[in-house]
């Protein structure tokens, strides 16, 4: 790509006079602008090689500008490469050099239209000024020139935002209007105000005129009229923004800290595959021959193995498909199936894996599974958990990095922070919320790692668990991203809607299990759990007292019962009824969304070690539907969505070694819990006999036919603001802020909650005793330390925050809290053990103590 570089000497007068960065208190000499640009380009080349950017930009060109001639393609690539070269040219602003860079090499003459704090908008202006003339002078056709003009515009927009967030593209176009910043800059250029620092203007005098705003808008509108291009252009801008900011950040860190990045989180060898194939479970599967095996109709592992082989074979036959569905019954080994398929997709172009789950508990659960496979090897160090409660990974023991000298210690922390910020890990486990921030977040911190999706395998678990008003948009973007970024996406679930039906395009989507019904219909899955509706009445709600009597009747010696309510209020009320029953042969537990990570692990540990002569009852909310690894005998569930019922069933008689039964009841109103969800329409719930039959037959294909038709009819095809046309129109406008809000998986309204830190002493599942008050004091100490190296501080804070999560609860309030300390919006309650019973926070007791007025 070097042949496309515009020498900085051709743009700037005496570039050796200008600083890109100055001494930040570390005693370094100022960094000359050309040095910084060279460093940025070095990292661009590194990423080009490691992440196969050539293929990605070829995809963008073929999709967004397929009509370009060879000359047009060359200009297309020149525009891309020189985003890196031009991005800091605005630092030639004399005021910027004097004020920000403390540059006294010469007496600078101020330029009236420029202030001294910003440089990105001037960089965009210089880029536009230079390439506008290049486009006009080219031999391209008028249509090609118009097309290339659009890329010049959006690239200049990326330059203008590289120190901020992605905003609304229309705001950038408005800067060309008279009396706006870009227009003022061009006016100063044409008047000769820049001659001391800039070889331009390159546009012939007068071309930056009142006609430019209209010209830009006309060309962009004409280009974006094609609906098929709109998502692609949005992806192009996110990708280029991510690449530019990453190269800039890596280069700046090299100057500041002397850290030269050479690894960017890719799988470089076959060790992942080799170690996986040597694991005991996979060796057992490889010894199994699906063709010659005699099926005794009792061993559930035979079905699991057959699905494993079928998915593998189907994948190998359809490696050209970018999106694959893995639909298989609960308990059929989907995670292992997806792991095998992910590793089969690795090659020179696909070299990174993301495993993405709806809940942190599932992330932790699968991390533990991977530890069993890779834990005794160095490979395990390259597997990272990325979420809000896991410390930033450190490559080395605490003793190792604490014994480094000061300079090396700071480099160590900086490298660790860079790896976390840019996701430089070959294998990542994270949540859907985090992934959607990467894919759609408009904040700089969210978008910088977008380029890491290129050349990756992304496994999405239970994507249908989120609001179905976004299913169409989600699938549209997944297909677009996978096509352009050379991604492979595997979507897996026991209840998997064929989301491609919503998008209306004809892209190939492969079903890894060609006929999942034959597995769903097998007695080892279908008959594993009996379904009972004796507590589900056609004309009234189920009363708490009759449910209570039924449960006590079933709670016999050695039985394990699981109960799911769809509101925390009902779950807490029923839990207290059971604890007050007087039955000494019961061991009763409760788990809701209020219970944090350590609470849930403690509950599961205590259930595993429960007295075998007693009945175990776990009362819970929806948190048990997925992410909790339990196997129970009898289930009770308040009805909601059909796929939620199936997920719950998957917690019962998981390994087909005894008899299981689930009793359904109807107590709370699910429409108030699952808002804007077509699945809680009465017609699609267990109140209808047809839905009972579909659940018994595991016929989720027919169930989702109803749901998807409803989404298309009552939402996608609507002409109001909720229809797909309105969505595509906002994508066309490149309104990154609107799209970011639109694509949030979880709408939080926490105005009625506050975060309260209950300081007490707890014991983790590993036996570690943690004093909550000491953790709080360490957090305050770190926040107050203004002398500590930034990277080190961020990493130590991430470690402390991971422990703080054990003590933080969301408490409903109206007025006042009698707290002992406060940091921001986090409130400390000391001596908090008094508010806990059996390891659980008793909010009623907390309120009754006079701590809150509600």
Element (H, E) at 94: helix 94-99
> Which of 85-89, 325-329, 462-466 is predicted most confidently?
85-89
pLDDT at 408: 75
pLDDT tens for residues 548-573? 999 999 999 999 999 999 999 999 99
Q: Report residue 55's pLDDT band, with 50, 70 and 90 as the boundaries.
A: very high
pLDDT greater than 50 at residue 853:
no
pLDDT greater than 60 at residue 749:
no
Q: Which of 753, 814, 750, 803 is nearest to 778 (CA)?
A: 803
Q: Where are the domains of the chain?
A: 11-257, 273-513, 523-697, 750-851
Distance CA(161)–CA(496), nearest Å, equals 39
Q: Is 794 left (phi over 0), alpha (psi -120 to 50) or beta?
A: alpha
Distance CA(443)–CA(270), nearest Å, equals 36
Q: How many CA atoms lie within 13 A of 183 on its CB side?
A: 16
Distance CA(604)–CA(267), nearest Å, equals 35
What's the CATH number of domain 523-697, 3.90.1150.140, 3.40.1350.10, 3.40.50.300, 3.40.50.620? Answer: 3.40.50.300
pLDDT greater than 70 at residue 34:
yes
Report, as an integer, the average pLDDT of 727-745.
91
pLDDT tens for residues 364-387? 888 888 999 998 888 898 899 998
Question: What class is the 11-257 domain?
Answer: mainly alpha
pLDDT tens for residues 386-411? 987 788 887 655 555 566 666 777 78
Does 273-513 match 523-697 in CATH topology?
yes
CB of 647 closer than 8 Å to CB of 494? yes
pLDDT tens for residues 64-110? 999 999 999 999 999 999 999 999 999 999 999 998 898 888 888 88
pLDDT at 750: 47
Output the CA–CA distances (angstroms, integers) from residue 708 to 246, 502, 673, 773, in the order listed. Answer: 39, 7, 21, 51
CB of 542 closer than 8 Å to CB of 351? no
Output the CA–CA distances (angstroms, integers) from residue 210 to 157, 176, 177, 206, in the order listed. Answer: 19, 8, 7, 9
Q: Which of 641, 628, 659, 675 is nearest to 558 (CA)?
A: 659
Is the bond preceding residue 201 a cis peptide, omega within 30 degrees? yes
pLDDT at 58: 97
pLDDT at 428: 95
pLDDT tens for residues 184-237? 999 889 888 999 999 989 887 666 666 788 889 899 988 888 756 789 999 999
CATH code of the domain occupying 273-513: 3.40.50.300
Burial 640-675 (b: 16+ CB within 10 A, else e): bbbbbbbbbbbbbbbebeeebebbbbbbbebeebbe
Q: What residue has token string 């590194």?
A: 46
Q: What residue has token string 């096509």?
A: 483
What does the DSSP 8-state code read for residue 109?
P
pLDDT greater than 50 at residue 263:
yes
**What's the alpha-carbon Rg for the chain, to the nearest Å?**
30
Distance CA(486)–CA(571), nearest Å, equals 46
Question: pTM value?
Answer: 0.91
Let me know how long the chain is. 854
Output the CA–CA distances (angstroms, integers) from residue 245 to 126, 249, 413, 450, in the order listed. Answer: 18, 6, 20, 11
- Paired with 791 in beta bridges are none
């Amino acid at each position: 790509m070097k042949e496309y570089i515009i020498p900085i000497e051709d743009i700037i007068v005496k570039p050796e006079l200008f600083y890109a960065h100055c001494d930040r208190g570390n005693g370094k000499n100022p960094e000359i602008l050309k040095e910084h640009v060279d460093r940025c380009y070095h990292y661009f080349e590194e990423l080009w090689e490691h992440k196969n950017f050539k293929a990605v930009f070829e995809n963008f060109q073929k999709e967004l500008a397929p009509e370009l001639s060879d000359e047009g393609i060359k200009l297309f690539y020149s525009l891309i490469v020189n985003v890196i070269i031009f991005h800091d040219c605005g630092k030639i602003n004399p005021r910027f050099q004097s004020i920000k860079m403390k540059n006294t090499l010469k007496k600078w003459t101020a330029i009236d239209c420029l202030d001294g704090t910003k440089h990105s908008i001037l960089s965009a202006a210089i880029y536009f000024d230079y390439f506008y003339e290049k486009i006009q002078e080219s031999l391209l056709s008028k249509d090609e020139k118009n097309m290339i003009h659009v890329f010049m515009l959006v690239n200049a927009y990326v330059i203008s935002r590289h120190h901020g967030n992605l905003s609304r593209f229309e705001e950038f176009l408005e800067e060309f209007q008279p009396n706006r910043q870009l227009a003022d800059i061009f006016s100063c250029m044409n008047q000769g105000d820049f001659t001391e620092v800039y070889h331009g203007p390159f546009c012939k005098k007068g071309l930056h005129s009142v006609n430019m705003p209209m010209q830009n808008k006309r060309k962009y509108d004409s280009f974006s009229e094609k609906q098929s291009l709109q998502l692609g252009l949005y992806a192009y801008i996110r990708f280029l923004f991510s690449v530019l900011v990453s190269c800039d950040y890596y280069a700046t860190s090299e100057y500041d800290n002397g850290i030269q990045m050479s690894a960017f989180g890719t799988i470089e060898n076959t060790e992942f595959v080799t170690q996986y194939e040597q694991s005991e479970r996979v060796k057992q599967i490889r010894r199994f021959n699906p063709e010659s095996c005699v099926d005794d109709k009792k061993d559930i592992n035979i079905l699991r193995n057959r699905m494993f082989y079928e998915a593998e074979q189907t994948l190998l036959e359809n490696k050209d498909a970018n999106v694959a569905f893995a639909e298989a019954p609960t308990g059929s080994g989907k995670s292992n199936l997806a792991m095998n398929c992910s590793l089969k997709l690795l090659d020179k172009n696909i070299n990174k894996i993301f495993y993405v789950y709806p809940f942190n508990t599932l992330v932790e659960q699968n991390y533990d599974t991977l530890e069993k496979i890779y834990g005794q090897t160095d490979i395990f160090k390259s597997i990272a958990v990325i979420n809000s409660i896991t410390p930033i990974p450190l490559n080395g023991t605490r003793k190792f990095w604490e014994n480094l000298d000061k300079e090396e210690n700071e480099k160590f922390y900086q490298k660790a922070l860079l790896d976390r910020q840019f996701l430089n890990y070959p294998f990542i486990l994270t949540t859907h919320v985090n992934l959607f921030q990467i894919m759609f977040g408009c904040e700089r911190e969210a978008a910088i790692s977008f380029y890491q999706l290129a050349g990756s395998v992304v496994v999405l678990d239970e994507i249908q668990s989120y609001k179905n008003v976004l299913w169409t948009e989600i699938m549209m973007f997944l297909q677009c991203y996978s096509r352009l970024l050379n991604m492979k996406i595997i979507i897996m679930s026991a209840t998997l809607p064929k989301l491609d039906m919503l998008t209306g395009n004809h892209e190939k989507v492969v079903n890894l299990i060609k006929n999942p019904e034959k597995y769903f219909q097998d007695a080892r899955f279908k008959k594993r759990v009996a379904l009972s509706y004796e507590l589900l009445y056609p004309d009234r709600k189920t009363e708490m007292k009759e449910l209570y009597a039924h449960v006590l009747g079933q709670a016999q010696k050695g039985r394990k019962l699981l109960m799911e309510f769809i509101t925390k209020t009902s779950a807490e009320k029923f839990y207290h009824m059971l604890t007050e029953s007087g039955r000494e042969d019961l061991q009763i537990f409760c788990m809701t969304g209020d219970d944090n990570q350590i609470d849930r692990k403690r509950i599961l540990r205590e259930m595993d070690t429960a007295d075998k002569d007693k009945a175990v009852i776990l009362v819970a909310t929806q948190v048990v539907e997925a992410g909790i690894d339990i196997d129970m005998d009898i289930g009770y569930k308040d009805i909601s969505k059909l796929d939620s019922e199936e997920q719950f069933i998957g917690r019962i008689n998981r390994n087909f070694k005894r008899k299981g039964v689930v009793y359904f009841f109807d107590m709370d109103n699910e429409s108030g819990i699952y808002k804007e969800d077509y699945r809680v329409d009465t017609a699609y719930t267990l109140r209808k006999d047809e839905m009972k039959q579909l659940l018994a037959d595991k016929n989720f294909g027919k169930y989702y036919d109803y749901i998807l038709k409803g989404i298309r009819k009552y939402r996608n095809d609507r002409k109001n603001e909720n229809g797909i046309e309105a969505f595509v129109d906002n994508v066309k406008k490149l309104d990154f802020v609107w799209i970011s809000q639109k694509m949030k998986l979880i709408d939080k309204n926490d105005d009625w909650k506050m975060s309260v830190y209950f300081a007490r002493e707890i014991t983790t599942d590993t036996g570690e005793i943690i004093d909550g008050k000491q953790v709080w004091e360490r957090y305050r100490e770190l926040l107050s330390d203004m002398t500590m190296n930034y990277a080190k501080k961020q990493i130590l804070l991430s470690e402390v925050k991971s422990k703080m999560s054990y003590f933080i609860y969301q408490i409903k309030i109206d007025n006042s809290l009698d707290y002992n300390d406060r940091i921001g919006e986090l409130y400390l309650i000391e001596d908090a053990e008094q508010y806990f019973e059996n390891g659980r926070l008793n909010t009623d007791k907390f309120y009754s103590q006079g701590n809150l007025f509600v």
